[in-house]
Chain A
Amino acid sequence: MNLFNLLGKKTFPKGIHPEGFKEETHDHQARRLPFAHQITLPLSQNIGKPAIPIVHVGQQVQRGEVIAKADGFMSVPLHASVSGSIKKIDLVPNARGNKEQAIIINTALSSAQTHIIGNSNDFTSMSRKDLIQAVQNTGMVGLGGASFPTHVKMHIPDDCDIHTILINGCECEPFLTTDHRIMLEQIEFLMRGIHIAMKAVNAPKAIIGVEDNKLNVLEAIQPHLPADGSISIEAVVTKYPQGAEKMLVYSLLGMEIPSGKLPSSIGVAIFNVATLAAIGELLPHSQGLIERIVTITGDDLNKPGNYRVPLGTPLSHILEYAEFTGNEAELILGGPMMGMPVGFLDTPVKKGTGAVLVLNKRATKHDDILPCIKCAQCLQACPINLNPSELGMLATKRKYDVMEEHYHLNDCFECGCCSYVCPSNIPLVQYFRIAKTLNHERHIMETN
């Protein structure tokens, strides 16, 4: 059982306490970002299959219209985030550096940019199957960053019985405040989304988990909770990576998700607050996901804050609007612990982009990598209880198979705590990513 809960604090063992830097944006109400002249919507915005375009070059589209349809169950449709004309459907470089198909739309600047409203859905009277279909129609993916199609998550295998859904409002990454703002500004949408999710997975109970650095959220949400106690809100200790699924399940329920299994195997489904708030907003009117709240923060920005950003808006437009003044920076989509680096200012905001982080002076500069002195700091940080020290030494010897077979490499979810605390500056989690990729390739080779 979870010993911490006996002491009245909901948390998990180990982890780290990085400085939050959240006060820079957590009071900034989400404001609308003006439309960029041109937006780029990659067809692959989710884990699974990319969407299939159903528009042609030159076609006029309205804001909220479906421009690419879902390719089967493991896919979601894509909606136009602006009214305008399709400029081209072509390969564009993505954040990872390779090219992918995208629909590029020229914004109609004279348009009123009204969001299409579809048929109204009354989720209370819909069947679970129809509800999951309606969720897929919104184009929803996990907005916490994983971009896993939400309707797939809601489709629970028959042998699993969901007893609790957890709503993840931890936002444990430093700098990020989007979930915080959503939980203050969109409580009505959020509560509706929670009801929809509970219905879709047939769960009797829901718990909202919020880190205790956002206590004003608890005050704000408390009055909106239903009287029957089916939905509750709990404060968890502010600690990284509290917002990781595995950690939150342990903190709130004292359960462990079995290695390699989904949370549904222990009767739990986990959704991000932003995802459910967006479902609560869009699903009743059959609308599609076309914008999201993004924290724009970091160094050398005159106007950091939370912005309602149309999907497909290029980073250059965002930086210009947030008045970026530096001439040197690292651009990160997401937080400083697990975010993705970006090399092109043309990179568009996607469904999974929760933050644009500009780091310069607060980024740690590269230092010499020294030998491991076995100080065991990484062992005391790893929330999964791995032995990063040993794994790191095996990685430098390229014994990737031993890492996987004897040291449970695949249980690592790459939170980066080990790299964060290493006095020798060993890029541990970076080694582990490489090791996983090479193991994956090796397994493919072996099966063929």
Chain B
Amino acid sequence: MAIQPKIGIRTSPYIHKAPTVAEIMRNVVYALLPLAAYAVYQFGISALVLMIVTVLSCITTEHIFCKLSDKKTTITDASAIITGLLLAMTLPPGFPLWMSAVAGFSAIAMGKTLFGGIGFNVFNPALVGRAFVQAAFPVSITTWTPALAVDRFVQFIPSSLALPFMKPVETAEWTTQVAIDGFSGATPLALMKFQQIFTDSYDLFIGFSTGSTGETSSLLILICGAYLVFKKMLDWRIPAAVILGTVIAAECFYLLDATKYPSPAFMVFSGGLMFAAVFMASDMVASPVTPVSIFIFGLLVGFLTVIIRLFGGLTEAVMYAILFGNAATPLIESYTQPHIYGRNK
């Protein structure tokens, strides 16, 4: 034969078609952008700068740790951006920026690189960061400011600009200045827990209530989640199972005493539950992979959320519920390997 081509050798399969890890991560970022935009609309520049700070903090931390461990930097896969955005969404909009930077650092350092970087983290890094600042700055992380303040696009929420290691400015006075009538500074969950006032579920669904930066509109969260499900980059079974678990647990208590315990709808649409179900519990690395374990994991998270909300000392329970779920993942998985073709059930 006249032609002597250069022959490449490798083993099958020779074709491969999958979105790259970076593509998946980028799409999650895209899905978070509408939420970010809505947060900025609600809370103004404070929310915007908060997100920028956490994202930069996460990226920088990851880059530095990669360099320190002589690895190729992994910031290009965009997973640190997701962690940063997710983290910002769970923080109060007026959270002091320096504390946000600490949160971003601890999210990546303790939640991700400590375990070996992307793919190896046991817990959702963003939640690790939030849990850290929850413990470190319990007052700031429970200080909520009203949405739709008049000057929100030109003026920071006073607490945002607190100097590092200084006590943040009291926001109570500012809150009364900008607030619409009747604003109490408490989130729907706090109202439920400490004053037995149940916010209307419809308001919660649309998102005109106090809360963390990105968690207020369940509707928008569902739309963004649907985009990812459509792109096959989000396993719908996880949010579905979390919501189902919450509804079942909440319904039990609601049936027991409807005056004392809130309705399942309230439980589902309040606090960070919807956001956590769609974007936090579904973190690929820390969530289970086998079909049965996905449902057990989701139900467990939903159930724990309700229990912690009703009987725990904290209101934002879903964070701990997911961290528990993450910790239980390897155990659940080891007991729920799928049925193998040709083997007896």
Give A residues with C-beta under 8 Å from B.
18-19, 174, 246, 250, 256-261, 316-317, 319-320, 324-332, 334, 336-343, 345, 357, 359, 362-364, 366-367, 370-377, 379, 383-387, 389-390, 406-408, 411, 416, 419-425, 427, 429-430, 433
Contacts and interface: CB of A to CB of B under 8 A. Distances in A.
A411 B341 CA distance: 8
B interface majority secondary structure: loop
B340 A386 contact: yes
B342 A246 contact: yes
Contacts of A363: 8, 14-15
B256 interface: no
A256 to B, nearest CB: 5
Interface string B2-29: 1111111111111111111101100000
B328 interface: no
B312 interface: no
User: Taking chain A's interface residues, is the majority helix, strand, or loop, or is none over half, making it mixed?
Assistant: loop
A336 B12 contact: yes
Contacts of B14: 330, 332, 336-337, 339, 357, 359, 363-364
Contacts of B1: 316-317, 319-320, 345
A364 B284 contact: no
Interface of B: 1-21, 23-24, 77, 116-120, 235, 284-285, 287, 289-291, 333, 337-343
7 contacts: A258-B342, A258-B343, A327-B6, A363-B14, A373-B284, A375-B284, A379-B290
Contact of A174 (B5, B15, B18): B15
A260 B16 CA distance: 29
Contacts of A337: 12-15
Nearest to B291: A379
A407 B289 CA distance: 14
Given A258-B343, A372-B119, A373-B118, 8 more contacts: A18-B17, A246-B342, A332-B12, A345-B4, A371-B120, A379-B289, A386-B338, A423-B23
Contact of A385 (B7, B13, B16, B339): B339
A259 B344 CA distance: 9
A326 B4 CA distance: 9
Contacts of A374: 119, 284-285, 287, 289
| 6 smallest beta-carbon distances between A and B, as pairs | A371-B119, A416-B13, A316-B1, A364-B16, A259-B342, A376-B289
A340 B10 CA distance: 9
B15 A340 contact: no
B72 to A, nearest CB: 9
Nearest to B337: A387
A379 B237 CA distance: 14
A387 B13 CA distance: 18
A408 B343 contact: yes
A345 B2 CA distance: 12
Residue from the set A258, A331, A341, A389 with the largest chain B CB neighbour count within 10 Å: A341
A320 B5 CA distance: 12
B343 A259 contact: yes
Given A330-B9, A343-B7, A379-B290, A371 B340 contact: no
Contacts of A342: 7, 9
B70 to A, nearest CB: 16
B119 A336 contact: no
Contacts of B17: 18-19, 364, 420-421
A362 B19 contact: no
B343 A411 contact: yes
A193 B127 CA distance: 65
Contacts of B285: 373-374
A409 to B, nearest CB: 11
Contact of B5 (A328, A366, A383, A384): A328
